[in-house]
Amino acid sequence: MTALRQPSFEETTEALPREALRTKPIGLPGLSEPAVMRHYVKLSQKNFSIDTGMYPLGSCTMKFNPRLNEAMARLPGFAEIHPLQPQSTVQGALKALHVLGESLMTCSGMGGVCLTGAAGSHGELTGLMCIRQAHIHNGEDDKRRVVLCPTSAHGTNPASAAISGYKVRNVELNPDGSVNLDDLRQHLSKGDVAAFMLTNPSTIGMFEPKCAEMAEMVHAAGAYFYMDGANFNAIMGRVKPADLGIDVMHFNLHKTFSTPHGGGGPGSGPIVMTSELAQFAPVPKVMRRGEGFQLVEEPDEKCLGRVKGFHGQMGVCIRALAYIMSMGEEGLKMASGDAVLNANYILARLKGVLSPAFPGRLCMHECLFSDDYLKDTGVTTLDMAKALIDEGYHPPTMYFPLVVHGALLVEPSESEGKESLDAFCDIMTKLVERVKQGHVDYFKQCPVHAPIRRCDETAAAVNPILKYENPK
């Protein structure tokens, strides 16, 4: 056997121009491998994670994600395939996507599915593009140039509508947070509405009780009814959007069906739609062909074309399928029930401590508080959030939704037990007691024990430090 020869410096650099070669050391520290490993482990221990504590972010569903789903997503037949492989070599992966699509249609009662959405907002955009394609095919696109959004909608709803080329009009809310049907009816009467977008349950954590009635009004006006399904984890297994008259909706697989959410990804926003709208859905589509499966990539004359380079986010899709198959119909129904139960338990325990944004109404999967309880104290919602960090909690969502002043949006998710809910409520009660005792300076200094003290998030967002500078 011939011994391997170490290539010379000249051989390894001959393809590079001389001016690109380093002439002096770059200043990297000389460290052992254990030292490097310990450095990064210590950094990770400074981060907050769902493995170390409750993550009550409202509207984001930061829940525990079973490790089984991670293991399935990492199987070589899913994790190591290439999107340009011959379809005959990825039949198992195509079958998994097909089964996921059928499962989502079953959950929603819809007749069509498209898995290519890269995130919830991208799913919204894709759904609206299907609606516009339908109006183009029906010869009404020039006439219908408006999308209606309640003021309780997710912020991405009007953004997706604007990107799709529509004008956006807001629909007002009733005092209890529900959509004002008279205002909706007035907007629909103008004859220029392409679609009505409803987040249900809404961003204020409430289910819209007149959803089916809204659908009748929207369809009578010749428009389509879009539902933002980002909060589907509150109703899965209990309500099928098709039964409410919904024409198209997106799922946030990374919220409802497992995948760790937050930090910018990964995400996946497949859409489900009526059989009528399914003909306008983008390619690629997974179709059953005899005993096998085919990824159809060529659009027909009605299809709106392609909205993404490849077919969805494979890892997120597999995690979602593993979650659905392991939970089953009864498990999914139990999960949504537990999510609603947990949120209402927190609301019941804290309604005399904090200020419920809409007193007298039960919530769905998240409960919303205003800052009325902080009035004239000198303490703000931000101060409370910073104090929670010192208590070992990631803060809930702050100042969102915008329809509630000083909002604090709490979502415990279905994966937290009563002990953790009680501990969180006890800490909130203790902090409010300190507010009433006048400890303003304490709240203005928090967090004291966190790795990074109180920072100016606004300045950090406007002037981010994107390049490492070696301290001299």
Domain boundaries, the chain: 68-326, 328-454
Q: Is it the case that residue 429 has pLDDT exceeding 60?
A: yes
Main-chain dihedrals φ then ψ at residue 200, nearest 5 degrees: -140, 115
pLDDT of 472 over the 80 cut: no
* CATH topology assigned to domain 68-326: Aspartate Aminotransferase; domain 2 (3.40.640)
Show contacts of 386-390: CB within 8 Å, 24+ apart: 386/443, 386/446, 386/447, 386/454, 387/431, 387/434, 387/442, 387/443, 387/446, 387/447, 388/427, 388/428, 388/431, 389/446, 389/447, 389/450, 390/446, 390/447, 390/448, 390/449, 390/450
Please name the CATH architecture into which domain 328-454 falls.
Alpha-Beta Complex (3.90)
| Domains 68-326 and 328-454 belong to one CATH topology | no
Tell me how crowded residue 34 is: count the other CB atoms within 10 A of its CB.
Answer: 8
- Other beta carbons less than 10 A from residue 323's beta carbon: 23
Average pLDDT over residues 379-393: 96
AA letter at 30: G
Q: Which pLDDT does position 411 carry in this prediction?
A: 96
Distance, in Å, from the CA atom of 71 to the CA atom of 322, rounded to the nearest integer, reads: 10
Average confidence score pLDDT of the chain: 92
Q: Lowest mean pLDDT: which of 221-225, 305-309, 377-381, 421-425?
A: 305-309
The residue that leads in pLDDT, 453 or 266, is 453
On whether the CB atoms of residues 147 and 167 are closer than 8 A, the answer is yes
Handedness of CA 458, 204, 260, 87 (dihedral sign): negative
**pLDDT of the residue at 127:** 97
Residue 116, pLDDT > 60, answer yes
What is the tens place of the pLDDT at every residue in 5-17? Answer: 666 656 655 677 8
Q: Is the pLDDT of residue 263 over 60?
A: no
What pLDDT shows up at residue 8?
65
Q: Calculate what percentage of the chain has a pLDDT beyond 70.
A: 96
Rounding to the nearest 10 degrees, give the CA dihedral for residues 82, 83, 87, 88: 10
Examine the pLDDT at 30 and tell me if it is beyond 90: no
Residue 262's pLDDT band (boundaries 50, 70, 90)?
low
pLDDT in the model for residue 103? 97
